[in-house]
Structure formats: C-alpha cells, structure tokens
Amino acid sequence: MGIYSSFGPWTCLNFPGSDEEHLPQDTQLFASWGLDGLKLDACKQPVENAYNYNRRMLHTAANSILNANRDMILHAVTMTDSWGLYAGRPLPWEARTHANQFVVWGVTETLTSVTNAVMNAAYTVQYASQLIAPGHYPWQGAFDTVGMDLAVLQAGITMAAMVSAPMTVGSYWPANVLNLLTNSEVLSVHQDPGAICASIAWSNNLAEVWTKPLGGAGSGSTAIALVNLASTNQTLQVNWSMLGASAGESLTIRDLWNRNTLGSYTNSWSTLVSANSVQLYRATAQTGLTTNVAVLRPGGLTNTLIFKKGVLIDVK
C-alpha cells in the first residue's frame, strides 16, 4: 500500500502536499504507518528551472526515505521544461544517487494507443536509458484496462518489458486482459534481473526493431520487439548483427506472446508483423555456445565464470 503527495505546497487536486521543508517529516509519518510506497507528483511546483527542481526533489525524497528506515518505493513524477522535453538534457543523475533504493520516475499518464506506447519507450531510451538499472526504473504510464484495446495493452506491456518499466494496471481484469498480464514468458523479459534498457536496432517506414540483452553479458539470449505502426502489415527482418551474434551462429526464435518456438535460423530471420501492433520474441543461442562454470570461493561463496566458444566473457 502506498500514498500520493506532491513536491510542493499543494497536490494536483489542491490538497496539502509535501514541500521541501516538510517532506522529511511527512515521510517519517508515512513510514510509521507501514506504507510501502510514495508517489510524488509535480503539480503546484515552484516556478523555476525544471532541471534544478528535479535535482532537489529527487535528492530530498531519496534521503527522506533512507532516513525513515523503511524500504519504500519512490515514484517520482519529474517536471519538464514547459511540459516538454528537457531541451536535450538527460534526467537528473540523482535518480541513481542511492543504489539501494527502488526509484521509479516518469512524466507520462494513461496509455492511449500503440503509437503512444512505443513513443513513451522511445522517450525513455533517448533521455533516461543510462539511469535504468536494478532498483531504478522508468514509468511508461498507467494501463486503464476498462475499454482498453488489447493491441494497445499488448504494446504497452511489451514496451514496458523492453525498457524495464514497472506496470501500473487498473483493476478490471477480464480473462483476455488477464491472459496478457500474466504471460510468464513476457514477464520473464519484463523482470529480467539485469534490468537493461532496450535499444532501437533499426527503424524505417513506421517500423522498428528493438533489442534487449537478457541475463547479463554472454547469456546468448536477447529479447526482440518488432514494431509496426503502419496501417498495413509489414515484413521485418532481424540481422544477427543487431543481436551481437556472428552470422554463422544458429539462434532459436520463440514467439513469447503466442508461446510458440518458430525454429532455428542463421544469419537473419524475418516475419510478418500485423498492422499497428508490437510483437515480442526471444532469440537464444544453441546449447554449447555458452558455458557456465561455478567456482567455489573461500567462505562458501560462489562465482560463475561464463565462457562463450572457449573465451571467458563474464564473471558473476
């Protein structure tokens, strides 16, 4: 259970907020109530440079939660310059000041279309990809499932999975909506422990190929989102160079939404993507290309050495 406030004297609905002076005191009170999260909105904020405002807000909120001695999610709605972009500037570095804190930030409200879902994720990639890491996530907007088109919901879930964004979902869950929300293969991408932000590997003619490494370096597994914002079906091709794989490698492609393995391919793979939709796949290197070796350290700790084709590429 969480609570809503605003980093200013008033909330969006003109109730008392938690301004900079009183936020530490308010946070102590919220922690004493046993709350698990705090959302800070940007309504009624002081009139000042948005970048400086966000630096102060995130710093004050993060320290207030740490000093309250309770693990709480901070959902920070950052302010933008004239409610637009940050004039090319990245989000404040204070979003990752405290590595042991779960921080969510964002400026987007309810998802309205497939295009809206993709553009929200593209905004995140452009301005915040360097801030995303385990414990620090972007927000892609709420899913108002009442009357939401299933293609929009699927696109929203897919793009949230690709940029490691927590999902805020309404409570209307008929069977077809629940099936999308509980697809374990899609959620495995969404909740991948590496929390890597995807990148756009290719784009042209309202179509895009997004890629997201899974499981850390050398896992041999990559999530692929195929985006088609056109009004007609398009065939999209994924070249192995987009995945960081060599042309001769054999990769297995699995359709995660339909829970169906399509087969193994070399060099590239292509498929038909329906109009105005986003599809999600996983490309996995065949067994044997990547080898994990567990090494016991003093004190019972274990390191995992990851080899690919005989070359040590990572240590966990």
Output Rg (C-alpha) for the chain, integer angstroms: 21
Task: Write down the pLDDT at residue 107.
Answer: 47
Task: Name the superfamily (CATH) of residues 199-285.
Answer: Golgi alpha-mannosidase II (2.60.40.1180)
Task: Out of 6-20, 139-153, 172-186, 283-297, pick the least confident.
Answer: 283-297
Task: Kindly report, residue by residue over 185-205, the tens digit of the pLDDT.
Answer: 999 999 998 888 999 999 998
- CATH 3.20.20.70 location in the chain: 2-190
Task: Write down the pLDDT at residue 41.
Answer: 84
Q: Mean pLDDT score of the chain, rounded to an integer? A: 84
Task: Kindly report, residue by residue over 208-253, the tens digit of the pLDDT.
Answer: 999 999 986 556 799 999 999 999 999 999 999 999 888 888 999 9
Residue 80 class from Cβ within 10 Å (0-12 exposed, 13-18 middle, 19+ buried)? middle
Whether the model pTM is above 0.85: no
Is 59:18 a contact under the CB 8 Å cutoff?
no
Task: Write down the pLDDT at residue 42.
Answer: 79
Q: Between 3.20.20.70, 3.30.43.10, 1.10.287.40, 3.20.20.10, what CATH number should domain 2-190 receive?
A: 3.20.20.70
Task: Kindly report, residue by residue over 31-55, the tens digit of the pLDDT.
Answer: 999 999 898 887 777 666 777 777 7
Query: Across residues 12-39, what is the average pLDDT?
Result: 93
pLDDT band at 87 (very low <50, low <70, confident <90, very high): very low
Is 155:120 a contact under the CB 8 Å cutoff?
no
Alpha carbon 301 to its chain's center:
31
Task: Write down the pLDDT at residue 85.
Answer: 41
Nearest to 154 by CA among 186, 110, 202: 186
- CATH 2.60.40.1180 location in the chain: 199-285
Residue 182 CA: distances (Å) to CA of 9, 137, 175, 275: 39, 20, 10, 24
